[in-house]
Amino acid sequence: MSNPVSPDGATRNPAASSSATNGAPTKSSSGLIPTNTVTTKDGLTVRVRIEPTLAVDDVIRQLCINLKIKDPPGVFALRDDTDELVTNDNLRQKIKGKVNLKLVNAPAIEAAEIVEKLAAKDARLGLTLTALRKYIKEEQFANEFLNRDGLRELIGVISYSHGNTLAYALTAMQNLMELDHGWADLSESFILKIVQILASEQSLINVCRPATAILKKLVEANPASAPGPQIPSSSKAPPTPAPGSVYRYGFEAVFEQMRKEKRMLETVVSRLGSADTTMALYSMMLINSLMAHATDARWEEFMGALERLNVHKAVIGLMSSHTIEDLTSCILDYQANVVRATYRRKMTMVEPDIDPSHANALAFVWSKSKVHEELEATGGVRKWRQIGFDTEDISQEFHEVGVLGLQCLVALVSKDPDYFAKIVQEQLSRPEERRCPIAKASNEVVDLLSEHWAIFGSYSAATTFQPFFLNFEKVHGLATQFFLRMWNESGASRGDFSRVVALARSQVKEALRKENVRPWHEVEREFLESEYRAVRDRQMKELEMEDDVMSKVPIRNLRAKLYKDSLEFVRQQRIHCLLQGAWFMNAIPLATNIPRDTMRKPTMPWRFMRLDNGLKYLHYMDSQVKFVVRSGLEDLPDRIDISLISEVATGNCAAFPNILREQGEVSYSPTSQLQASPLSFALLTAGGGLLAAQIAPDKSRWADWTDGLNMLRRDGGHVASQETEMFVQALTEIGLKIRLLSESILVLLNLTMFTNHFIRSFGRQSRDPQWDCCRSSPD
């Protein structure tokens, strides 16, 4: 029986490992066995042929026997030239790729040595942490490290170190937290330490990167995100994590420590304006994570803090910057989070009898109107009707726009209280029929803007920057002023309210067109200076192309419902494409924010990827050629954890040019000569680490996968392709027309049935003598 690990020869010169072998290749069950080079710790280099079906432990044992190594095989492991650990999962790939291997210390030995060096805190601490941040990504090493109480030693280093040493320690901690176990007992003091690091304006970029990623991971590790079955809990309390689960932190745990460091959030927001794109990127990612996972108990407090710090203004500044290529995905994520927050406010009822903040906001509006309550002859009080509501039931008046409508009204009053009081008094001086219902108009404008920006649910289909949307309250103020001006210039009366609404809708569409490229002053001019006649003429032309019935409130509500349904349908369709799988070209990212040590050049040009049925892992394999892949996951040995995907960056990767295949190897030209493909995408972790970089074969496949992966993310993500955005809009309009057509057919059928019934009844009655007068006379 032949030796499954056959040495071809040995040399003390490592360079000799690339020379051709003289022995004839042996055969395995799968064909010819390639020759690999193995270098021992003593510098001995041998060429061996390894049977691909062997386990790694068996390969090491055979090497120890053949090389007459006295130490037990259990203290050794195999690594490749990049120090990646050889495992049973990747051994076959390493053999096939003729990768140079090294016989090194086993993870257990490495872990014991590193923990000992961390405890010693000697001058070699930097080198120790450099090795740790690399090895800690490997589960075998991480488990040994944790078993030796290495986490406590690492946290100790983080607590007292600074500068590059702190950066290395934080990166090691970040890499450890990519595992789903081992960090379930992090203390509040540790979280506070990370918060304090980010709050310090003196923190270096390489310190802020991993610290931000750690805090983001803690925010996302909430009990509700835990995979698998959960221990039952009361309906109001959050789910209880299983023993040992790392899903026990979440927004509450992090925000509680943030409240102790008042300047933390302010410092993070200020970094959005940093000249360093990477610093802005990581700050943006943390803000997005906090927004996406804010709990009901702290939601108002946190969102209020962001508003006070004027985050919208900082993000708008990033939109107009010329160096935002790496930030595009994060900015779109932020927009999507704001859409969700805006929708939540729109759906939150105004309840002044229950919520003191609502009562205070309404009291502010009333006091600034400088109007007094009036008693009616019926004994009722005339209060809210004086500023433009239809009734005194304030909760019902805000039913369609919720707290969003109340906030916009408060912002309108706050901008110029004297102007608000003036227009209220002016309207009250007119006959009741000619008064413009200011408060009702304000709510109608909120509804128009919500319709324009598709604020219909928890998803956002916007694929371009929307700086005017982030200025929602300012646009609302301008549009409400426009509404009032159109009312006055057209001489409208109460029965003309819907006509003025139609003018406002037309102007909103006109003024906010091409939002991602238009300057703000043009929007102001459109609302403040457009003449009534020009607006009316344009609106009439629009009515010629669109039935007026489409602008009615019931139709708009139906469109909103269908939009949500269409977006969910597209989401399911995109995920179905991921479940089917597809071939992609391997690529190299060109983005500057991706750490170079996370980039691994693939040895093969093609990659097939497929999502598992549990929607938790993206399984894949690399190949020299494309072929028909069987259903299932048996042929896809490698996988990417979906929970690690923090960003799907698009259009920033390039194919490897000038691929030369000589003796089974692949070489690449310098990255400076590469150009990004518009069909490329990169999957990044919270710390900017690269999980995958691919180029899609066509635009349709690119849209399916980028949007599908975004929709799978825990924070919801954003739509990346205009194709998906247009698809959602088309489905909405088709669904709306089908629904209206069905209703019309139903009405027609009912009318026909009624007519037939009437004719039959009339026929019976016409035979009665008393119906003689209904018969036609001979004349």
Burial class (CB in 10 A: 0-12, 13-18, 19+), 115: buried
CA distance 665 to 177: 34
CA distance 331 to 281: 9
Closest CA to 696 of 776, 584, 621: 584
- 304-315: per-residue pLDDT in tens? 999 999 999 999
CA distance 330 to 482: 34
CA distance 368 to 371: 8
**What does the block give as tokens for 416?**
């110029």
pLDDT of the residue at 594: 62
Contact 222, 293 (CB under 8 A): yes
Helix (H) or strand (E) holding 589: strand 582-589
CA distance 185 to 192: 14
Distance of CA 686 to the CA centre of its chain: 12
**What does the block give as tokens for 254?**
């992090």
* Cβ contacts of 56 within 8 Å, gap of 6 or more: 77, 78, 86, 87, 88, 91
Q: Strand 374-375 vs strand 638-641: parallel, antiparallel, or unpaired?
A: unpaired
Phi, psi dihedrals of residue 209, rounded to the nearest 5°: -55, -60
CA distances from 680 to 55, 588, 655 (A): 36, 9, 9
Helix (H) or strand (E) holding 396: helix 394-397
pLDDT of the residue at 756: 62
pLDDT beneath 70, residues of the chain: 1-31, 227-239, 322-326, 376-380, 458, 544-554, 556, 591-603, 656-673, 687, 714-717, 719-720, 743-779
**Torsion, Cα of 253, 254, 260, 262 (10° steps):** -150
- Tell me the whole-structure pTM to 2 decimals: 0.78
Contact 343, 456 (CB under 8 A): yes
- 381-407: per-residue pLDDT in tens? 788 999 999 999 999 999 999 999 999
